[in-house]
Amino acid sequence: MALYFSSRPFSGYTRETKRNYTTDLCLFFNFLWLRGKLWTQAVESDVESFQFWRQEAEGNPRHVGGAKWNRELAALNSLYEWAVKPRNAFILHNPIETREVVGQNGNVVAAPVLKDGDAKSSNVHWLTPRAYRRWVEVGLRGYTREGIPAPNWAGRLEDRNVAYANLLYSSGMRRLEGASLLTFEVPALKLEGGRYYVGRLAAAVTRSKKSRAFYAAAQVVGEIESYAESSRMLVIRKAQAAGRYERLHEIRLVTKVTHGPRRVVHWCDRDGVAGQTDLDLATADERMRFYTEGPRGPEPLWLWLNERGLPFQPHSWENVFAAANDRCRKVLAPEGKRLAVMSGIVEAPYLTPHGCRHSFALYMLVVLHHLMDERFGLTPEERRDYRLLYGDAWRMVQDLLGHANREITVKHYLAPVADLQLRSLLATAPGMQAGQAAAGPLDTVFARLAREAEGIQDIDDRMAVA
């Protein structure tokens, strides 16, 4: 196995994929060991039995969904495709049975027969704006059920956590995309104002490996700036006083960043060796090593830092969200109830970093329809012309999320509202009054969506935080 972990296919995966695949492979190896087999002795029936155990067996108390199984199957297929190659020859036959199918680009590809075609991730869920606000106030800010600060609350880097969650919710970034930002990649607030600020994600940290623009709300940009100037600077000063950065051997002091179509980071390491890295191609691991020379010594360029002043690992954000979910459950639903499925009303909102992305997609879809139907007052003919010129709301959301095709956006991110007539929903919403925030009328729309569509979490009016 050590040869596979150092092979070209495995070494090309992201750190998160490596960790996930290693866990998946260990689980399958344990399954085979209980059957008295090694991984090189597996046959098709073993993989079929493993799928049955993971998804259906009564003796397994924790079944997995289609998306999780497809990932495990991909991990197995990656290993066995490598092992069956002539230059490796660990096995003679790949136990993962495949068939030829037509890919997205019209080419014929081999796909595992056991792949779940109706996969739906168990992490797919949506929070309406007011449910999200409730989650932030209680889970990240330590508010009570009555909407006031808890007297015994001692939030650790509260401003960092709130700024990161709001960034994901307002921009639709993935966890790694938002987590690996460098300080100079965050748009700066301008005197002339503006509701949204545009930035750019490097190709290396996106799933598609293509650079794309992101839009962050002005309030979120302000929160990030406040964090950078307060608690972030505090942990940096403590780390400098403790000599923590001086003991790091693999840091790269950035001397210059060229701007323009191709941004290049010029740096110098501890040994005085100079180099340069295309910012668009800099991975998360490389970004963690970028530092700048500050007035009191080296400072990390990685935006989000832990309490020791070191880069906060992207996967650690899952723990932040899990702690917030746990607090929401204890404060808002002490009896353990979390979701009233039939009504769409939740007592304790539940959210993950990727759930922010799903919620952003839902919010943008409703807002874009609201703009076209209510504020712009477009007739059916005008809407048709608008779609021909700019694309419909679904296409706009697809572009914001960076999806390669519309099917992913509709099937996996906006499935609850894919078959709903948003125009009829918006027709029941109260009109937008001058100076009135959009959240008012849109809350009515989201409340109705939560009642009529599965998976959308909303809160009751009487539970809304002031």
Please, what's the largest Cα pairwise distance for the chain?
72
The pLDDT value recorded for residue 105 is 58
CA distances from 293 to 65, 210, 286, 300 (A): 48, 30, 17, 9
pLDDT band at 282 (very low <50, low <70, confident <90, very high): very high
DSSP bridge pairs for 297? 294
**Cα–Cα distance, 96 to 230 (Å, whole number):** 53
DSSP bridge pairs for 109? 101
pLDDT of residue 186 exceeding 70, the answer is yes
The pLDDT value recorded for residue 38 is 92
Q: Tokens for 74, please give them.
A: 């991909």
pLDDT band at 306 (very low <50, low <70, confident <90, very high): very high
Tens digits of residue pLDDT in 329-347: 999 887 655 444 444 566 7
Tens digits of residue pLDDT in 66-92: 888 889 999 999 999 999 888 877 888
Closest C-alpha to 361, from 408, 313, 420, 404: 408
Specify the amino acid at residue 251. Answer: I
Give the dihedral sign, CA 381/383/387/390. Answer: positive
DSSP 312: P
Specify the amino acid at residue 52. Answer: F
State the average pLDDT over residues 147-152: 88
DSSP bridge pairs for 99? 111
pLDDT of residue 325 exceeding 70, the answer is yes
Task: Return the higher-pLDDT residue of 304 and 127.
Answer: 304
pLDDT of residue 9 exceeding 90, the answer is no
Residue 266 exposed, middle or buried by CB count within 10 Å (0-12, 13-18, 19+): middle
Which residues have CB under 8 Å from 450's CB, separation 6+? 128, 344, 345, 456, 457, 458
Q: Provide the whole-model pTM.
A: 0.75
pLDDT band at 423 (very low <50, low <70, confident <90, very high): very low
**Cα–Cα distance, 465 to 461 (Å, whole number):** 9
pLDDT band at 399 (very low <50, low <70, confident <90, very high): low
Among 22-31, 50-59, 184-193, 326-335, the range with the most confident prediction by mean pLDDT is: 22-31
User: Within its chain, how far is the Cα of 339 from the centroid?
Assistant: 22
**What mean pLDDT value characterizes the chain?**
81
Which residues have CB under 8 Å from 334's CB, separation 6+? none
End-to-end CA distance of the chain: 56
